[in-house]
Structure 1
């Protein structure tokens, strides 16, 4: 069972690594004494409030973490993935990478690992709200797949996908989307402020509206397209806004932004 295995996170004090660590602890899937975290700075900021923090094993030595863990998660920025200087022998177990753009072949070449999972996730993992698609090398076992599924289910939702190209596509969808949503929200706040609404009130309102919309979107049986159609069919103020947006270049602009993110994901870790 995964709860009986030691799990290590290289880059576990960075934004994504820490979010995954907190999410796993929060879910109860991993006990503090079964969690290893490595970082170059040995900075433990962000873990002060974690219950049984003293039980977590912190280290500055990535190889020490690998030698003690059954499952190792690489959560470093893509540019640093080639500088980790680690060796993963078959006895070490499973290597999971959430470093954007780093291919399975690169991971195997750089680390010596055979059983490799390449995945994508985001900091919503801390609250159990991430979506984490993944794909596996041919050497990955059924038990590895079960463990990976359990791990990512503990921090949100997950699916195994057919190819690494789909991981690149999801890198463009998952990684930037919080920023894209924040940009749209900021546009709404600015619009409200220009009409004379107090900035603090505008921001509070937009935050709540986006929160409510996300919950409704996540729990509704209707697809996003069906929800849009229903709102347009209602022919109210929402329909007026949606009709104007559909007639504008907005959809093309969104596709252009996603395509730019996808192209970046393909070259972000090209240095070997």
Structure 2
């Protein structure tokens, strides 16, 4: 069988995974088949990455050794209603938010199914993916999934009961960080900086802080304490953040997204 990876859904996340897998030479373009209902999208993916394309989801299921579901969770029932499992040993990997393993295994009975939650920084190889194995998943199947998602960043294994929390934190988290960067930029503009310079300062400050914490293993509170001098500018700014409920707003955002993910799977 020449098609090693079949992807149903050629949208943003499907393309992010596809591009990195080809770039990192995990798969060659001729080993990948992608289905998407839009002809324009098919043409783009074929031209940009040299992969096989089709509008026939069943063709992907029939031909691929590993199947990656990258559709919107709201389309799960519609898309899978037309699919017929053909290979008992075919590994199925789903990146659908809020879609539990029980639903996936009902569509692909007896097959190894893995639920995964990557995030959008996967597009630049800086993603965070959590994976949860199904009841028929073996260590070799998990290693395959880890190999795929290591091409786009870091990977952790969690139990399925934690996947909705993962969705609320790292799955939705890039949106929260983007809003924070935009707000920092607007703050710089309000304080008199040109927008381009304010945006550069905000972006690099967030990036540098994350890299510092990751490389040193320092607790965020330790870093915060280190840059807040008595009566200084940082502690004054933090006091305003606390007054505005910044910390609790982020906590509540994660919990709200977690509950929405649960609702999507209900």
Greater alpha carbon shift after TM alignment, 253-262 vs 211-220: 211-220
* Structure 1 unmatched ranges of 5 or more: none
Deviation at 1:228, TM superposition (A): 2.3
Name the structure 2 match of 1:20.
17
TM-score by length of 2: 0.89
Question: Helix, strand or coil: the match of 1:76?
Answer: coil
Q: How does 1:9-88 map to 2 (within 5 A)?
A: 9-11=7-9, 13-42=10-39, 43-44=41-42, 47=45, 50=48, 53-54=49-50, 56-84=51-79, 85-88=82-85
Deviation at 1:179, TM superposition (A): 1.0
Deviation at 1:172, TM superposition (A): 0.3
The match for 2:115 among 118, 135, 141 is: 118
Deviation at 1:252, TM superposition (A): 1.4
Deviation at 1:15, TM superposition (A): 0.8
Aligned 8 A contact 2:89 2:111 in 1: no
Question: Helix, strand or coil: the match of 1:135?
Answer: strand
TM-score by length of 1: 0.87
Deviations 1:198-254 (A, max 9, x none): 223222322232232333233222132332233346875334433443455222111
2:250 paired with 1:254: yes
Aligned 8 A contact 1:66 1:92 in 2: no
C-alpha change, 1:107 and 1:201, in structure 2 (3 Å) is: same
Distance in 2, Cα, partners of 1:118 & 1:92: 16
Aligned residues: 262
2:121 paired with 1:128: no
Deviation at 1:66, TM superposition (A): 1.3
Name the structure 2 match of 1:231.
227
Deviation at 1:97, TM superposition (A): 0.3
C-alpha change, 1:26 and 1:235, in structure 2 (3 Å) is: farther
Aligned 8 A contact 2:61 2:86 in 1: no
Superposed CA RMSD in Å reads 2.2
Name the structure 1 match of 2:216.
220
Aligned 8 A contact 1:87 1:113 in 2: no
Distance in 2, Cα, partners of 1:99 & 1:154: 19
Distance in 1, Cα, partners of 2:63 & 2:89: 8
